[in-house]
Amino acid sequence: MRRRLIAFWFVLPAFLLYTVFAVYPLLSALANSFWRWQGTARAGFAGTDNFTGLFTTFPLDQQLWPAFWHTMAFFAGTMLMQNTVGLLIAVLLAELPVARRFLRTVFTVPYLVGGLVVGYLWSLLLSPVFGPVGAGLDAMGLGALARPWLGDPATALPTVILVNAWHHLGFPILLFGAALAGLPPEYGECARVDGATAWQRFRRVTLPLLLPSIGVISILTFLGSMNTFELVYALSGAQGNQPTGPGGATDVLGLLFYRIAFAEGGTNAIGQSSALAVLLFIATFVVAVTADRFIRSRS
Amino acid sequence: MTRTVRLAGYLLLWSYAAVALAPMLVMLLNSLRPNADVLSVPLGLPSTLDFTNYETAWTEASFSTYVWNSVLVTAGAVALDVGVALPASYALGRFGFRGRAVLTAYFLAGLMLPVRLGILPTFHLLGSMNLIDSRLGLILVYAAGGIPFSVFVMTAFFRGLPADLDEAARLDGAGELRIFARIMVPLVKPAIATVVVFRFVPLWNDFFYPLVLLRSSDRYTLPVGLTQFFGEFQTNWAALFAGLVITTVPLIVLFVVATRQIVEGLTAGLGR
C-alpha cells in the first residue's frame, strides 16, 4: 500500500501534464467534431454533418480529394525512395569500410534540419531566375533542362516529393544501418559457405531479416506524410490561407487542416477542422496499428 | 564482392554524399558573399570572408532575439519533460502496483497519437489560462508531447537495472526519495542523455505550434522568425542564406557532439 502511494506521487506530475496538454486536446477535438459552431460558441448538435460537410461544402469539396491524393503520392514516393535508395546506401555502408563514419554523418545531416529550413533552402536553390540549381545545370551545358520546377503544375508535386526524400533519407540509412549491425554474422557466413552469390545472400538472407525495419520506416513515413506541413508551406511560399503550389498542385492534408482551423476564417471552423482531425486521426491510427500487427506477425 | 562492384559502391556512396551535402554547402558559401554577387552568380565561392549578412540577420532582423527564444523554449521544455518523466518512469519501471500495465500503455499510446491534431483545443485551453503568445505555454505543450518518448526510453532503462540495487538500499533504511535521487537517477544518465538530445531536435525545428500560439515577434522562436524574415528580406538572398545557417548550425554542432545519442533515439523504436 505504501509503495502504491509512492508510485502515485512519482507518476502524478507526468500524468497531469500529459493528460491536460496532450490527451485532453485530442479528446476535445473528437467531441467538437460533433457540434456545429458559431465562432467559439456551440450552435447545436451536428451529428455527422461536419464530416459529410467536408466532402460537400464549397470550397472543401474541391480541395479535400486533391489534398488527399497529393498526401498519398507524398507517402508513396518518399517511402519508395527510403526503402530502395536508403536501403542500398545502408547496405553499401555496412559492406564498405572506408570513411564509413564520415559518410554516415554526411548522410544524416539533412535529416536533422527542420522541414521549414529545408523548404526555404530549396525554394532559393530551385528559383528559376537566381537559383543555383539552374546555374549549375547551365555550367554543365545542361541549361535546356532547367525549368520553373515549383511553378509548373506538372513538376511541382514531384519536386516537393524529391526534396522531402532528400530531407528524410538519413533516417532509413541510420535505421537500416542499426538493423544490419544487429544481424548475427553466422547467417551470411553459412550462405557464403554454401556458395551463394552476394546478391543471393542479400535477397534470401538479409532482406527477409530487414522486413521489420522496412515496416517501421513505412509506418513512420506514413505518419510523417499525414502531418506534412512545414516543408510544403516554405517550399511553395505559402501564407497558409489558400491552396499551395500552382493551381493547388502541392496542397496536402496537413496544410488543409491548418487552413480550415486558422486561416480561412469560416464560422464553423472548429467543427469542420475537428472533423478533419478525427478522420486523419482514425486513418493514422488504423494504419499504424494494422501495420504494427503485421510486422510483429512476420518477425 | 568483386573489385568492380566495390568501386561502383564507393562511387555511389560518394555521389550521394555530394547530393546530401551540396545544398548545405551552397547555403554556407552564399551566406558569406555580398548579395549582388549571389544574385548575379548564384553558384560561386566567396572572394573574401564577409560577415555582413550575419550582422544583417542578427541585428536588423533580430535573430538574436529568435535564437534566445528558441534556446529558452527548447531547453525549458526538455527540462520539464525529463523532470516529470524521470520519476514516472522509475515508478513504472521498478514498482509493482496494480494498474501499472494500463498506465504504461496510456503513456506509450502517445507515441502513435498525432498530437498536433489537437491544436485547436490546445489553443483554447491556453487561451483560458492566459498563455497565448507566451513562451511558457509553448513549453508546457512541448513537454507534454515529449512525455511518451521519454517514458518509453527511460522505463525500459530502469527495468534493465539489476533488481537488488534499490532493495539493498531499502534494507539499509534509505528513504524512497533518496534511493531515487542518489542511486537510480545517476544510473540512468545514458537514457537521460538520449532523451535530452533527441527531443531537442524536433522542438528546435518546430514551426507549427509557435505559428499558431505566438503573436508578438519579440517572442518568436527561430522558425517563425525565419518566416517573417523571408517575407521582409525577399530580395536580400545572401542574408536569407545567413538566416538559414544560423538556424541550422546549432543542430549540426549537436549532432557532431552527440551522434551516439541521436542514433540511439532514432533506433529506439526498432526494438519494440
Q: Which domains does chain A have, with CATH numbers?
A: 58-298 (1.10.3720.10)
Banded model confidence at residue B111, pLDDT cuts 50, 70, 90: confident
Domain count, chain B: 1
Mean pLDDT along residues B251-262:
87
Of B17, B41, B145, the CB nearest to A106: B17
- Give the span between the Cα atoms of B147 and A260, in whole angstroms: 29
* Domain-located, residue B43: no
Instruction: Flag whether residue A143 sits within 8 Å of chain B, measured between CB atoms.
Output: no
Of A15, A216, A227, the CB nearest to B269: A216
Tell me how many helices (H) and strands (E) chain B has.
15, 0
Nearest chain B Cα distance for residue A132, angstroms = 5
* Domain-located, residue B134: yes
Residues of A in contact with B255 (CB under 8 A): 105, 108-109, 112
* Domain-located, residue B246: yes
A41 backbone dihedrals φ, ψ, rounded to 5° = -110, 140
CATH of the domain at B126: 1.10.3720.10
Contacts of A278 (CB under 8 A, 6+ apart): A29, A30, A33, A51, B117
Instruction: Flag whether residue A175 sits within 8 Å of chain B, measured between CB atoms.
Output: yes
- In this structure, the strands spanning A35-38 and A41-45 are antiparallel
Banded model confidence at residue B1, pLDDT cuts 50, 70, 90: low
**CB atoms < 10 A from the CB of A267, how many?**
13
* Domain-located, residue B1: no
Instruction: Take residue B231 and report the three cell numbers written for it.
Output: 517575407
ipTM for the predicted complex: 0.92
- Give the span between the Cα atoms of A112 and A114, in whole angstroms: 6
- Restricting to B residues 217-236, those with a Cβ less than 8 Å away from any Cβ of A are 223, 226-227, 230
The H or E element containing residue A42 is strand A41-45
* Domain-located, residue B13: no
CA A8, A14, A16, A19 torsion: positive or negative?
negative
Report pLDDT digits (tens) over B143-201. 999 999 999 999 999 999 988 888 888 888 888 888 899 889 999 999 999 999 989 99
DSSP-based three-state secondary structure for B235: coil
A206 contacts A180 by C-beta, under 8 angstroms: yes
Q: Among A10, A35, A103, A167, which would you mutate to test the B interface (most chain B Cβ atoms within 10 Å of its Cβ)?
A: A10
- Give the span between the Cα atoms of B40 and A129, in whole angstroms: 10
B155 contacts B93 by C-beta, under 8 angstroms: yes
Instruction: Flag whether residue B28 sits within 8 Å of chain A, measured between CB atoms.
Output: no
Instruction: Flag whether residue B46 sits within 8 Å of chain A, measured between CB atoms.
Output: no
Cis check for the bond before A59: say yes or no (omega within 30 of 0). Answer: yes
Nearest residue on chain A to B266, judged by CA atoms?
Answer: A175
At A166, the amino acid letter reads W
Instruction: Flag whether residue B187 sits within 8 Å of chain A, measured between CB atoms.
Output: no
A269 contacts A257 by C-beta, under 8 angstroms: no
Instruction: Flag whether residue B36 sits within 8 Å of chain A, measured between CB atoms.
Output: no
Instruction: Flag whether residue B104 sits within 8 Å of chain A, measured between CB atoms.
Output: no
DSSP-based three-state secondary structure for A38: strand
Mean pLDDT along residues B102-124:
92
B128 backbone dihedrals φ, ψ, rounded to 5° = -70, -20
User: For position A299, what pLDDT does the model report?
Assistant: 60
Nearest chain B Cα distance for residue A277, angstroms = 5
Nearest chain A Cα distance for residue B78, angstroms = 13
* Pairwise CB contact (< 8 Å): B252 & A175: no
Judged against a pLDDT cut of 70, whether residue B123 lies above it is answered with yes
CA angle A163, A241, A248 (to 5 degrees): 50
Instruction: Take residue B131 and report the three cell numbers written for it.
Output: 498563455
Q: Which residue has the cell 522568425?
A: B225
* Pairwise CB contact (< 8 Å): B255 & A109: yes
Nearest chain A Cα distance for residue B3, angstroms = 12
Q: Among A21, A236, A252, which would you mutate to test the B interface (most chain B Cβ atoms within 10 Å of its Cβ)?
A: A21
Torsion, CA B40, CA B46, CA B52, CA B58, rounded to 10:
100
Banded model confidence at residue B115, pLDDT cuts 50, 70, 90: confident
B77 backbone dihedrals φ, ψ, rounded to 5° = -65, -45
Nearest chain A Cα distance for residue B172, angstroms = 17
| Tens of each residue's pLDDT in chain A, 299 residues | 578 888 999 999 999 999 999 999 999 999 999 999 988 888 889 888 999 999 998 888 899 999 999 999 999 999 999 999 999 999 999 989 899 989 998 998 999 999 999 999 999 999 988 889 988 888 888 888 888 899 999 999 999 999 999 999 999 999 999 889 888 777 667 767 777 787 888 888 888 889 888 988 998 899 899 999 999 999 987 777 788 888 899 999 999 999 999 888 788 899 999 999 999 999 988 888 888 787 777 66
Instruction: Take residue A42 and report the three cell numbers written for it.
Output: 456551440
Q: Comparing C-alpha atoms, which of B217, B231, B255 is closest to residue B64?
A: B217
Report pLDDT digits (tens) over B188-220. 999 999 999 989 999 999 999 999 999 999 999
User: For position B272, what pLDDT does the model report?
Assistant: 42
Q: Comparing C-alpha atoms, which of A247, A248, A281, A243 is closest to residue A264?
A: A243
- Give the span between the Cα atoms of A114 and A258, in whole angstroms: 18
Q: What is the DSSP letter of B111?
A: G
Judged against a pLDDT cut of 60, whether residue B271 lies above it is answered with no
Residues of B in contact with A126 (CB under 8 A): none
Of A6, A136, A257, the CB nearest to B176: A6
Of A22, A103, A233, the CB nearest to B144: A22
Q: Which residue has the higher pLDDT, B122 or B48?
A: B122
Instruction: Take residue B159 and report the three cell numbers written for it.
Output: 527495468
Q: What is the DSSP letter of A263?
A: I
Nearest chain A Cα distance for residue B90, angstroms = 8
Mean pLDDT along residues B58-65:
94
- Give the span between the Cα atoms of B142 and B210, in whole angstroms: 10
Of B1, B20, B266, the CB nearest to A198: B1
Instruction: Flag whether residue A295 sits within 8 Å of chain B, measured between CB atoms.
Output: no
Nearest residue on chain B to A122, judged by CA atoms?
Answer: B23
- Restricting to A residues 106-125, those with a Cβ less than 8 Å away from any Cβ of B are 106-110, 112-117, 120-122, 124-125
User: For position B5, what pLDDT does the model report?
Assistant: 86
Q: What's the domain range around B137?
A: 24-38+48-271
How many CB pairs below 8 A link A and B? 250
Instruction: Flag whether residue A241 sits within 8 Å of chain B, measured between CB atoms.
Output: no
The length of chain A is 299
User: For position B243, what pLDDT does the model report?
Assistant: 96
User: Rounded to an integer, what is the distance from CA A276 to the centroid of its chain?
Assistant: 18
Contacts of A123 (CB under 8 A, 6+ apart): A150, A234, A235, A236, A237
* Domain-located, residue B113: yes
* Domain-located, residue B200: yes
What is the residue-averaged pLDDT of chain B? Answer: 92
